[in-house]
Amino acid sequence: MNHPNLKHPTEQQPDDAAHMSPRSPWANLAGRGLKSAAAILLLASGPVSLGAEPSNVLENGGFEEWDANYQPPKLPPQYAKMVPRTVDNLEPTGWTIQAHAPYENQKGDNPDFPVTVTISRDDKTRHGGAFSVKITNGADTDIGSISCGPFQVLPNQTYTFKAWFKMDDVNPNPKPGDGVGVSFWFAESPVSTGATEVTRTARQPESNKGTVDWQEFDYTFTTKDSTHFLALNAQLRRASGTVWLDDLILVPGDKK
């Protein structure tokens, strides 16, 4: 489902990708992924001293901090079952956990199509630090995801995104875009108004099904002159199985 106040994304994956979530990343603005403008401008501008490593623009990209007060979103009746299961009501600080179904299952004879997504903190399987995010889908119609932002970025700036992932028995639908992936949402403004144009692009790692040990996925991009805000969404899309995500970073420059 599209956000009612956002224009249709100008870049998208096939089929129902533009309808992946009943909650746009822009709904997370209040107190979730948006840091202070001064802090973001400092991070986005790159290193502040010669030889210093650029700072990670993402808040809590290693998923070391968790909030124990997750509350299911208040959704329209037709989406009432599209909420993830959690363990101890935990949600990673600065991120929003989501569960949803393909667009074709959200209408017609299945207006209340259930999902079987569990998103939890894992202290046993992790790449770095003490914890990772674990997404488990019980069916290949499930879409489980975590999202952050929108946060401020600089226009005409190159950024590199990196993430570590591990998969266990992931079986995606055969359609393009299914499996493990990351969506990037670019916008002129963090405010969801009718004039806000949002561009979305999605990327996937080469290893996208089966059982795979920890691998790094990276994507380098350059923002447009009209881009001032970015949100991202990492997901296990229309696939059964489990994926672990850890050590996500977004830094200025080409850091491949």
- For the chain, the average pLDDT equals 77
Contacts of 137 (CB under 8 A, 6+ apart): 116, 117, 143, 144, 236, 239, 240, 241, 242
When mean pLDDT is compared across 59-68, 74-83, 136-145, 244-253, the lowest value belongs to 74-83
Tokens of 248: 């996500």
| Rounded to 5°, angle at Cα 255 from 251 and 256 | 135
- pTM (predicted TM-score): 0.79
Tokens of 92: 């990673």
When mean pLDDT is compared across 19-28, 48-57, 82-91, the lowest value belongs to 19-28
pLDDT value, residue 103: 62
**φ/ψ of residue 69, rounded to 5:** -135, 35
Question: How far is the CA of 132 from the CAs of 20, 81, 128, 222, 242, in angstroms?
Answer: 23, 25, 8, 28, 12
Of residues 235 and 104, more confidence is placed in 235
Question: How far is the CA of 114 from the CAs of 41, 79, 92, 170, 181, in angstroms?
Answer: 41, 8, 23, 20, 22
pLDDT value, residue 92: 96
pLDDT value, residue 115: 79
Q: Which of 12, 239, 255 is nearest to 116 (CA)?
A: 239
Q: What share of the chain has pLDDT > 70, as a percent?
A: 69
CATH architecture group of domain 17-252: Sandwich (2.60)
Residue ranges of the domains in the chain? 17-252
Question: How far is the CA of 148 from the CAs of 9, 30, 216, in angstroms?
Answer: 18, 11, 20
Q: Which of 223, 242, 245 is nearest to 234 (CA)?
A: 245
The answer to whether residues 165 and 145 touch, using CB atoms and an 8 Å cutoff, is no
Establish whether the linkage from the previous residue to 150 is cis, with ω within 30° of 0.
yes
When mean pLDDT is compared across 107-116, 141-150, 173-182, the lowest value belongs to 107-116
Tokens of 173: 């639908």
